[in-house]
Chain A
């Protein structure tokens, strides 16, 4: 095998080992505005979230069937680890529902919001699973215009708060 190929091979080996050394854990939240309501849809990988939730509550939580313990845990956990402000004012969301599929735990929240302005300063604090995974990144896609062109922002352990100016319909 040529020297060049050996060098390339070693390079790719390092890339592979880098994956093990620097894992990334991810959660995603969609924020949309529709019918006078801001809606949030959290997607948490169930491998990460459910195991942690079961240990934290010392119960086997059922995220599929409107289980009271699971719902109570979600509300308490999100209240502790997330906050959402628009133009300096805190916005309180109500849990609409939660469910689980093969890969994710889905959490749906919404709140009424009629005070429309052209440009809005969104402040997000999100420390979901930071205490479990130092490599956790929580990504937001904020589409308040309804044009399917969301603003992307995220929080990580080194930057648990994020402030964005997002246009509003």
Chain B
């Protein structure tokens, strides 16, 4: 069973970092776009908010307390990205209200968690206990999430160091790209 734990953890890690299904990657990148390494504590808090959100609904859907409409969820996931990108740009000159952002990311995490549950339940046996696999899968998701954050922030560090791009411009660039890509996803999933 210990090896099954590793397999489910690996599947969680792979699922969130899969470039083919990059909606989750794009959401995490969009959240990160307004932050630099100096505000790493705020960034960790936001990523934690996302973790809390998706863990709750992943568990609810995996235990069939909630039975999501996956088609609707797949549509809503890029909507969360679009909204986050717009908010980044709208609030670029003003201070971000952190409590509002924290609550928004948590709620968006609910949506992504329902999306994860589709993949998770596909891997489960019909009569299998979900506790250990769910924990393993969730740990894999968190590790993958942190890897995405680190790769993205590392990329920004290099760009800042060598290209001297302003933080504001970087935020607009990343948020604009997220907006465009999420809009395409929304139109594809309608």
A interface list, Cβ under 8 A from B: 1, 5, 9, 12-13, 15-17, 19-20, 22-24, 26, 28, 30, 32, 41, 43, 45, 102-104, 137, 139, 141, 143, 148-150, 152, 154
Smallest Cβ-Cβ distance to A143: which chain B residue: B127
Which residues of chain B are within 8 angstroms of A9 by Cβ–Cβ distance? 150
| Complex Cα spacing A10 to B128, Å | 36
Which residues of chain B are within 8 angstroms of A24 by Cβ–Cβ distance? 7, 10-11, 14
A interface: dominant SS = mixed
Which residues of chain B are within 8 angstroms of A148 by Cβ–Cβ distance? 127, 129
Inter-subunit contact A104/B122 (CB<8 Å): yes
What distance in Å separates the Cβ of A128 from its nearest Cβ neighbour in chain B? 15
B22 within 8 A of A: no
Instruction: Give the number of A-B contacts (CB < 8 Å).
Output: 86
Interfacial residues of chain B within 103-135, with CB under 8 A of chain A in the complex: 118-119, 122-129
B interface list, Cβ under 8 A from A: 1, 4, 7, 10-11, 13-14, 17, 37, 40, 70-71, 118-119, 122-129, 143-144, 146-148, 150-151, 154
| Complex Cα spacing A149 to B4, Å | 15
Which residues of chain B are within 8 angstroms of A139 by Cβ–Cβ distance? 4, 7, 125
Inter-subunit contact A16/B144 (CB<8 Å): yes
| Complex Cα spacing A137 to B10, Å | 12
* Most chain A CB atoms below 10 A, which of B37, B70, B146, B151: B146
* Most chain A CB atoms below 10 A, which of B125, B147, B150, B151: B125
Inter-subunit contact B4/A13 (CB<8 Å): no
Which residues of chain B are within 8 angstroms of A16 by Cβ–Cβ distance? 13, 17, 143-144, 146-148, 150-151
Inter-subunit contact A26/B147 (CB<8 Å): no
